[in-house]
Structure formats: structure tokens, C-alpha cells
Amino acid sequence: MPDLNPLLDEYLAQHQQTIIDELMTLIRIPSISQIKAHWPDCYRVVDKMAEIVSAYGFEPEIVETAGCPALIATLETDVARPWLFVYNHLDVQPAAEPQWVTEPFEPVLKDDRIVGRGSTDDKGPTLTTLHAIHCLHRAGLPLPNIQLIYETEEESGSGNFGAMLDASRTRLQTPASILVSDTIFEGDHPAITYRLRGLLEAEASLSTGSQDLHSGMVGGAAINPLNVLIQALSKCVDAKGQVTIPGVIEELPPVTAAESSTLAHTATIFDFEKLVADTGGALMYSQDARELLERIWVQP
């Protein structure tokens, strides 16, 4: 891999103002999917993003849904290469918080930061990934085939996203990788999201009899299934927060050498006090940066 710093420096020198202008234009569109009166703005932001990606070699297609639209944009680099999906969302949260000291949808450049609703979640990361792709593609470096998938309902629960994907099977390729280019860890250090924590839901039920019992009659004598469930669930995790369900830890994929190196490096810039402050003073299992990062990124 060649040294990309000179390439990035040259690209920024030529495109930085364009990137700033594009981001400010997107921020000025109040694409609030939670408020139906702003659904037309979700269409506006998709239209604008289609125009932007077209300028960088992508073929855009706007996809209608039962709610707000999505955008699928395709860049085919080589039919022999794999496909990469890049996901972002172009809708934003409402901006009624009293902490705003500027108009949230009238962005301002302050201390080398663009202040406005959506600058970091998720319009800024959307443009960052797009321009990174354009920088590499323009330089002739090998890239996979790429499809950008932008929705406008993430902040309202992505209610139509699954149906949109189902309806777009003929448009979408089969990806080898999916990049979720969302908000950033440690704002002072550039980062790429390469893995997400999953969520497993389960329902446990237990019956110890054929009818409801009156606690005044048999309480303390009859086994209460709720107490049994509480005891069973409490044994799923030990006092150190480690999952004790048989097979879970054993089935985890081993940490690769590259991942271990990345964890070690990230631990050197990890700010424990900031984590505690950002989480409202939450109690942590450890103050060791490496251990905490492994708990967040590796362990269940």
C-alpha cells in the first residue's frame, strides 16, 4: 500500500472548500424524518445527494418507500472485483434542545468545526466516505465495486428500510463487505467503523402449576416461577460482567494479530474520564483502556 498522506493532502487542497460547501448545503435541509411535515425535506436531501454522488462517478437511483425515500448509487470499477456496500443515513433528529446557541439548520464554521444539525450524524460521515472513495478512484488505485445505500428514516426507526431492500433486490449486488459509515469514536482521531455489536433477544417462561395461586394462601410454600427465573437469569453473567452461558465464549472468533495491534494502539489514545463523563458517570468494570475496548469490541 503506497503512502496515502501526500495523496490526501493534495486532494484536500483541491476539494476542501467543495466538501465544506456540500456539507453546509445538506445541513440547511431540515430532513427530520420523525416529523411528517419535514418528509418533503427528506426528498430534498435525497435529490441533493443524488446530484452530489453523480459528480463523483456514481450512478444514483432514488427508491420510493411507504414513507421517506432512499438512494442507491453504484460505482462499478471492475467486474472481477467484489462488491462493497456503504450505508449512511441522511435524516436527522429534531433540533429543539435548549443548548443550541446558533440556528441548527444554518451551519456556521467555528474553530475549524462545522456546527449544525447533522454535521456529525450523519451527513458529515456520508461526505467523508464519499470523498475518500473519489480520492482513491481518481488516483487510479484499485477499488472494489461500490454501492452506496442512503436512507432517510434511520432517526425514526428505519421502518421501511427492510422493505426497501427487499424491493431493490434487482438493483443490489451481493456484497463481500458492508461499511456502516456512521458517527465517530474519539472525535479528535479519524476512525472507521468496521464492526458493530449485535443484539440477541430471547423470551424465557416457566410454569410450575396449572393455575394462578394466591400468595396469601401458599406464598412461601409453593415455588414461585418468577424467583426461579431470576436465579437462572442472574447466572448468565458473573460478577465481572462475563457471559457464563455454555458455548458463548467458546464460539467467539479469535482476535487476529491486526485487531490486537489496533486495540493496543487505540488504548493509548482512549480517554477513560471522557467515557465516564459521556455516559453520565456510569460505573465501569475496569479502568484499563485495553480491557474496556476488548469488552466493547470483542466480548459479548
pTM score, whole prediction: 0.79
34-84 pLDDT, tens digit per residue, is 999 999 999 999 999 999 999 999 999 999 999 999 999 999 999 999 999
- Is 225-300 a domain of CATH 3.20.80.10? no
Edge-first strand listing for the sheet containing 83-89 = 59-63, 70-75, 145-151, 83-89, 175-180
Are 30 and 92 in contact, with CB atoms under 8 Å apart?
yes
Best CATH choice for the domain 5-180 from the list 3.30.70.1230, 3.40.630.10, 3.40.30.10, 1.10.357.10:
3.40.630.10
pLDDT higher than threshold 80 for residue 245: yes
pLDDT of residue 197: 81
Structure-model confidence comparison of residues 192 and 229, the more confident one: 229
- pLDDT of 54 reads 99
pLDDT at 146 over 90: yes
Please determine, for residue 8, whether its predicted confidence score (pLDDT) is greater than 90: yes
Cis previous bond, 278, omega within 30: no
The per-residue pLDDT for range 150-187, each reduced to its tens digit, is 999 999 999 999 999 999 999 999 999 998 877 665 66
Which pLDDT value is given to residue 250?
A: 93
Nearest Cα to 149, choosing from 34, 32, 69?
Answer: 69
Outline which parts of the chain fall under CATH 3.30.70.360.
Answer: 225-300
